[in-house]
Structures are given as C-alpha cells and as structure tokens.
Structure 1
Amino acid sequence: MKKQEKSQISHPILLNNSKLINSENKVLEFINGFQGEVFNYSIEDLAKLANVSTATVFRFVRKYGFKNFKEAIIFINKNLQKLNEKYPLSTSQDNNISTIVAGNKYVLDNLYTNELQKIIEKAAQIIYNSKRILIHGAGSSKRMAETLVSNLYKVSLNVIAHDDFHLFLPVLGNATTEDVCVLFSDNLNSPEAAFTIKQCREKKVQIILITSKKKSNLITKNDVVILYEKITSKHLNIPLSSKW
C-alpha cells in the first residue's frame, strides 16, 4: 500500500495583496504554507526557501507596510499563533479531517461580516429580479456552483448551468440584459473566466463574481464581487459554503 503523503496546507497568515508581482507571490505562498509553530527565518533563508532574491523579500515587506523585516516576522508570528490556536491542523500524515474542520470553521468565522452581508444581499436581489440566472464554475469552483444551483432550484428560479464550458458557450451567446451571470472562479486566471466576463460585458449582462482574487483587470466597479479567504490543502478542495 502506498504511503499517504502529508497534506500540504495553505492558510491565510498574510492576506492576498494585489500589488505583488509573481516573484513576491512566491514569498507569500511560502509564508502561508508554513506549518510550524514559530516562523524564525532570516531574510536570506526566506529568500532561498522561496526561490527568490533578498531584494524581492525586501520589496515584499514594504508592500505589506512593514518598516523592516523584523516587524514583518513579529506580525507573521502573531497571526500564525492565532491561526494555530483557533484553527488547529494535525501534523500527522493523515491530516485531512483536521484540514476540513479548520477550513470550514475559518469560512464560517470570516464569511458574515456586515460589509459582505450587504454585498450578498445585493447579489441575491439581482438574482431574484433576473429573467434567467446563468451559472458557471469548473475545477475547484465546481462544487460551489453546484450548491448555488441546487438552492436556486429549490425556490423555483430559472437557472441555466453547465460545468462543461463548451455547453455553457451557447447559453452565453443567447444571454440578454435581463439575465445575470454568476461566475465562480478562485483566481480569475482561466481563459474560460476571461471569455465569460468579456461576453457579459459585450451583451451588458450583470456579473456576480465569487472569487478569492481581490484585484483583477477583469473586475469593474459595476460587478458584484463576493470575496473569500480560505484554508486549502494540496489534496483537498475546501469550498466556500454559502447558502443565500
């Protein structure tokens, strides 16, 4: 029997920063993937482990508003301690259960802020008043899309959804200004997401985005954007679970 590989966890010790470039995102990914109790690397060690230059780490620190590297380490360790206490993750090889529990607990604790509640209510009103609700989510977003589709069917709304983008294309082609498109896309970096948004813009179809991407050239002020942070595992899909 093949020995199970320990799940590689990523949790939001530092939140996403839209100002980061690719090399700086490597630093963020390393920090958020850290599973120890104390983050005590030197700037040289961090640069080496993240496979970037020390100059990149310096820029990374400045973009998060820290005065120096030491201040960044203190902040990281404070957040790490809070996450480890509130959302404990097992260090054993079979740590999938603790990942699921921590991931969903984090979502529940951070989902219903007053600001986000207003955005969700706005999205719900748009959905309710639309002639047709076009929903697409594939890959890691598929389960979230399926949950919304199921809930909207229960209240007898006119929903059209396909996780196969080739089947979703004709739906987009027939969309009108009376419709709304709900797009689930974790990072908004797929060609399908870009094409869907482009088509909706051309046809003046209202867009509701559910994503973890805080800033993207694809997003405009007219879009309704529901953002989420998450705890993820290399081996598991921990979806945002929200019922409107």
Structure 2
Amino acid sequence: MSEISLGISIEEYQSLSTAERYLIEYINRNIETIPTLSIVKLSELANVSTATIVRTMKKIGYEGFTSFKQTLKNNIADESKYEFIEQVDQEIKQAILKNEAEVTNTIKMLKTGLIEDAIQKIMSVDKLYLFARGFSEMIASEMAVKFQLLEKNAEMHNDPNIIRSISKRITPKELVLFVSLNGFTEELVEACKNLKISNVSTITITANVDSPLAELSEMVLVGYKSPHSYFPEYEVRSRLPLQVISRILLDAYAIRRRSEL
C-alpha cells in the first residue's frame, strides 16, 4: 500500500475501516484512471458503496470524490508533464521540445496592444483581403473562412498574378493581411509596395521581422521560428508560429466583435 501517493499518513490509514482501506488500495492500483471515473463507476469497479467512497474521502481530508479527483488531476499533470518525453528517442524528444518552444516563444513575443490595434483596424474597414503563398495558404484560407463566419467581408488569394493585379485596385477603405513565414515571397512584397503607394493599410503575420514584407507593412505580428528544420533541403519549415498568431488574432477579434454588438 502506497499511502504517501495519496497524502495519507500511516496513522490515518490505520484508522480506516476494512472497506475504506480496500478502497484506498484500489485507488492506488488504478491511480491513472481514477480521474476519469464517476463515483457510481468507481463504486461498481471497486465493489464498495458510494457511501463508503464519500466517507473515505472525508476521512482523508476532501469534501467528496469530485474534489479528490480534481486534486488528483492536478498532481498527475504536474508530475507527468514531461514524463512521456523521457521514454522516447533523444531526437524525437528534441522535436517535441522544438514545437513547444515555437508556441511558447511566439506567445511571449506577441504584444496585446498590437493585437488590439490589428483588431480595431480589421473591424473598421469595408473589406479584408488575405494574401499568402505556399504552405501559408492553408492558414490564410482558414482565416478567411472564419472571418466570413464572423460576418466580415473577406476573401483570400494565392495566385501570384491575381495578387499583383488586385493589389493595384484595393482602396484605403480596405485592408490586406499577409501570411508569410519568411516575408521574402516576391509577389507578396510587390503587392505590399503597391498597397503602400495607394495608402492601403497592411498587416503581416510572419516569423521574420527583418524581411522586406515586414518592413513595408503597417503592422507586423511576429512569431518565433526555430532555427532547426527536419526538412533542410526544402522550404517546408513549420508554420506553427503563424498558426498560433492567427488563432489568437481570430479569437480576440471574435471577443471584441461580440462586445461591440
């Protein structure tokens, strides 16, 4: 019996009845599945009454089974946050931590004031255009659909010739949002130059603040791009930072739009 895992002293354990001790031992043997069980299911599996469960929980310092489960969930989460990583190959472990770094560092880099400015700008214009190329197209396409669901007049373009052409016709009452990992895509940079000449506001979601696209844009939301790539021969680096930014921007836009209605 491992009383310590549940925070029960030897004295407390010895004060329990036979049925209560049996329940504690059952919980210890099945500690990982306990948080998923209801009190009724635990009663069936452990072959004890729900009254015994409630009584036992109170004796070991909890209001009931639900409060015990919540504490157990928190403890398991704290203790096993990275436990599974220790069981995998070193290179796979690095891949897992690389993705974690991209998410956490991107969130740290985002400025709430800039997010708010971008939201207000999007809300104020008559129409929103989204331009993207390559793998970034999927992110821009999803954003366009979600903006449309939020009743924003939005359309996405990925054809280089159409991007160049449309960028010359967009008015200052409209807005263009670029999604580009590196910010060097030729047609996107050219489009941004055209928009700047026409005094059209632009927002760029990127992972490269030192790119031509970032320098030309009115507002830039920058994410963290890991220096490591598992596809070094191809330009297929992770777009995870861009996905994180787009998700935050969309969620914040939905919240702000709801508050303004």
1-side partners of 2:217 and 2:184: how far apart?
20
Q: Does residue 179 of structure 1 match 2:194? A: no
Max Rg structure: 2
* Residue aligning to 2:206: 211
* Residue aligning to 2:100: 105
* Residue aligning to 1:51: none
Q: Does residue 144 of structure 1 match 2:139? A: yes
Alignment of 1:1-244 (within 5 A): 91=89, 95=92, 99=95, 101-113=96-108, 116-220=111-215, 223-231=218-226, 232-234=229-231, 237-239=238-240, 240-241=242-243, 242-243=246-247, 244=250
Q: Which is helix-richer, 1 or 2?
A: 2
What are the superposed Cα offsets for residues 68-116 of structure 1, whole Å, 9 maximum, x if unpaired?
xxxxxxxxxxxxxxxxx89x696578x5x974x5454334322333852
1:140, 1:186 within 8 Å by CA — same for their partners in 2? no
| Higher mean C-alpha deviation, range 222-231 or range 177-186 | 222-231
1:161, 1:168 within 8 Å by CA — same for their partners in 2? no
Cα distance change on mapping 1:205 and 1:115 into 2, 3 Å: same
1:135, 1:183 within 8 Å by CA — same for their partners in 2? yes
How many Å apart are 1:167 and its aligned residue? 2.7
2-side partners of 1:236 and 1:214: how far apart?
16
Question: What number of residue pairs does the alignment pair up?
Answer: 157
Q: Which amino acid aligns with 2:106?
A: L
2:164, 2:187 within 8 Å by CA — same for their partners in 1? no
Cα distance change on mapping 1:162 and 1:120 into 2, 3 Å: same
Q: Which amino acid aligns with 1:203?
A: S
Match of 1:215, SS?
Answer: coil
2-side partners of 1:189 and 1:165: how far apart?
13
Match of 1:120, SS?
Answer: helix
Give the CA RMSD over aligned residues. Answer: 3.3
2-side partners of 1:221 and 1:184: how far apart?
14
TM-score by length of 1: 0.54
Q: Which amino acid aligns with 2:152?
A: L
1-side partners of 2:182 and 2:217: how far apart?
19
2-side partners of 1:184 and 1:105: how far apart?
21
Cα distance change on mapping 1:178 and 1:190 into 2, 3 Å: same
Compare relative contact order (CA 8 Å, sep 6+) and give the higher one, 1 or 2. Answer: 1
**Percent identity for Structure 1 against Structure 2:** 18
TM-score by length of 2: 0.51
Match of 2:191, SS?
Answer: helix
Match of 2:129, SS?
Answer: strand
